[in-house]
A and B are shown apart, each in its own frame.
Chain A
Amino acid sequence: MNVSLTTIEPATAIRVPAFIEFQGASITYGRGEKAVQALAPTSLKVAEGEFVALVGPSGCGKSTILKMVGELLKPSTGHVFVAGREIGATPIRIGMAYQNPTLLPWLNIRDNVMLPLKIVPPFRQGYRAKRKTEYRDRVETLLDQVGLGGFGDKYPWQLSGGMMQRANLCRALIHDPDLLLLDEPFGALDQFTREELWAIMQDLWLSKKLTVLLVTHDLKEAAYLADRICVMSARPGRILDDSPVEIARPRTIDMTFEPDFVALNQRLRAMIVGARGGTGIVSHAPGGPRS
């Protein structure tokens, strides 16, 4: 079997110790004849504070990479290091948000957002005493930042999809994570809500400077938010291309119509079409330039 080992250096010129490092990590599901390689041996480095987007055709192992970083999956071969330690023993705090907001329907938004504080040390110590004062203020501040001020007492079903996703982001950020993992968090939203949330996400990232890994199938979203975009091949997933996004921040929606941005999108799209087998049917790759 042709297994190619892709070693990709960080695109940024400055040598910083990698915050996340994949060393030939691969994932194989099943055993024997039925074994399916979901992710070919992959090497990848992400610096601290970097915003990296993973794009590629569906089923290419983007989410698999995310799950390994989040310690939900162990690599079948190779190693994954986060903050200098092999996964399973990393001391960092992680926040995670999926496309499905999975807010708990029996809790109001404030208590939903507070959930990580109940679990993650050191916040869990003194949770009972602080939930009415310190933590409450903390949640309110964050809710204000994403435009959900005053919605703390509402229940999830009283909110629109976009508002639930904002609350979901808050839940992923309330415990001051060092690393944020986003798996198509804006995928189910309409175009305008999505663009609004891109701006919010960018503001949050600029103010907190945390490391973010974003899995998305929306090329425009990747280009808007990320410092670096990794394009992945179809299964078994490999990183085909890893290039920086050289567009100044803060980025705006208007910028997405400028030539640089459009050119970047077209280049990414061509690569993904190639990775999918190049049938030319690209209509389901949203966010690309529409002509």
Chain B
Amino acid sequence: MMRPIATTRSATGIPTGRLAVWWVIASEIVIFGGLLGGYLLHRFGHPEWATAAAHTNTMAGGFNTFVLLTSSLSAVLAHAAAEKGEGPKAAKYLGLTMLGGLVFLIVKSFEWTYEISHGYTITANTFWSFYYTAAGLHGFHVIAGMVIMGFVAADAMKNRELQRVELIGIYWHFVDLVWIFLFPLLYIAK
């Protein structure tokens, strides 16, 4: 399919793809904002949730934070490589980012398995409902990001569509940002 001429114009000075990604991020901010805002409202109003929150695994959460921060590093290194036109190198860094996402999800699945098997299910009480919903929505965005990143990396490997490396990177950084806030909310505030 031919790319329309529309895509090549840039009256704002921002390339079309990147402008679109910023709008995506803006709409995601209000989605997560609504969910986390709802959680915060309840959390402030229910100090006794600290009892439930005590059972989250801070080490797992902390390790996952480390993983996501490092994957953000590899994402931005991919961007740096793409800017220099080094497609295969950018693809390699994107692959590392995806690997980080995978490690994140694996740690989370162990974490959740442990918690569920100990009775901390999504219906146990509303703290846990928020915990699984918020982390789950975030995890869904991690998976979606990994899938898209795979396509971008495949193209980058062939030195094609290198501008998309930056774009998927921006999305990935946003996913990291959400986790940067989720981590203290769910794991530290006890």
Query: Do the two chains bind?
Result: no
Binding site for A on B (CB under 8 A): none
